[in-house]
Amino acid sequence: MRVLGIDVPPALLDKWADWLAPDQQPFFLTPQQAAAWGLEDTGREPSREDRDTFLTYAVDSTATVVAWLTEPQFAALDKPIRAQLVRAQVRHGRGAVPAVRAWQGLLGPELKAQADGHRFVWWKSLLAEHKAAILPVIVSEDMGPSRHTEVTRWPTEVPRAQELAGTFADGSGPNCFGSVMAATGVEGADSVWMLREPFEEWLAEHTVPGGRDNEPGTVFVWRNQAGLVQHAAITIGDGWMFHKPAQTWRSPRKVRTVAEVRRSTRTAGWRLTRHRVIG
């Protein structure tokens, strides 16, 4: 199977299913909702994959109760409560609450019976027979494909770019900073959640201001108005650029044109600087 122009082995597809539809998933509630529906805070900490699937960082601050439910527990709730519960997830900003009409053609009319008939949540039972059809769509949403197969010359200035380009990380965490560092040869940087501080140290020690967009080894760094680094990418020559758009499990390490990366990264309040790798 190929997703975003990248080969995906069956084992990774299985992991995607686990991350999109874990055996327990969080439902965010206000204390009043929790009391009305007989649900309690489970006290479980989300994994990194949970964080990125359910957008836990974007949930409304009023939803202070988190009930982790299994599919049988969810199904045992009265349908009016299920309907209110799912609608509340949309209002509170939780991720992975898709529209029924987007998936009913594949999953059948019974999908409307899960909750309020308009929205639903993913469970492994929904993925069981259609995993190969559903997951590539989920992973590809709002993502351009990797164009690594179009690159004809891989530069020595970015020695691991060819190895890393067109790959998915083994879970959430690995991010743009570590990917840029790894592409230049920093051992292990591709497999960790690289924080701003070590990236800034690497940038200060191994680059100088400047660089050209059409030459390999130019690091693009985007900062917000406070000067904090927000994203990074690196050129590999001939108008191509290597980057990882986000730390999420569905974000691949990929090659796009410099223009494509600049367009996709354009954000109000961010400013771009260039740095040339010197070793």
Give me the pLDDT at residue 93, please: 98
CB 81 within 8 A of CB 108: no
- Shared-domain flag, residues 200 and 242: yes
117 & 164 share domain: no
Domain end point (choices 113, 140, 167): 140
Look up tokens 């974000």; give the residue. Answer: 251
Same domain, 121 and 153: no
Residues 123-146 as b/e (b if ≥16 CB within 10 A, e otherwise) read beebbeeebeebbbebbeeebbbb
Sequence-ordered alpha helix ranges (H) in the chain: 10-20, 31-37, 48-54, 71-76, 79-92, 100-107, 124-127, 131-140, 161-164, 176-183, 196-206, 258-265
Same domain, 176 and 263: yes
What pLDDT is recorded for position 185? 97
Q: Please name the amino acid found at residue 160.
A: R
Distance CA 246, CA 49 (A): 13
Which of 110, 140, 170 lies at the terminal end of a domain, its last residue? Answer: 140
pTM of this prediction exceeds 0.85 = yes
The number of domains in the chain is 2
Residue-by-residue DSSP string for 51-98: HHHHTGGGS-TT--EEEEEEHHHHHHS-HHHHHHHHHHHHHHT-S---
Are 154 and 129 found together in one domain?
Answer: no
Range of the domain at 187: 148-277
Say how far apart CA 255 and CA 190 lie, in whole Å: 15
Q: Which of 108, 140, 172 is at the close of a domain? A: 140
16-75: pLDDT as tens digits: 999 999 999 999 999 999 999 999 999 999 999 999 999 999 999 999 999 999 999 999
100 and 29 in one domain?
yes
Tell whether 91 and 111 lie within a shared domain: yes
- Please measure the distance between the N-terminal and C-terminal CA atoms of the chain and give it in whole angstroms: 37
Whether 235 and 129 share a structural domain: no
Q: Are 212 and 124 in a shared domain?
A: no
Same domain, 159 and 130: no
Q: Would you state the pLDDT for residue 133?
A: 96
pLDDT at 27: 98
56 to each of 14, 32, 49, 137, how far by Cα in Å? 22, 20, 10, 22
How far, in Å, CA of 64 to CA of 33, rounded? 10
How many other CB atoms are there within 10 angstroms of residue 241's CB atom?
Answer: 24
What residue ranges of the chain have pLDDT lower than 50? none
154 and 134 co-located in one domain: no
Under 8 Å CB-to-CB from 66, ≥6 apart: which residues? 26, 27, 28, 29, 41, 42, 44
pLDDT digits (tens, 9 = 90+) for 249-270: 999 999 999 999 999 999 999 9
CATH of the domain at 266: 3.90.1720
Q: Are residues 159 and 125 in the same domain?
A: no
- Residues 252, 246: Cα–Cα separation, whole Å: 8
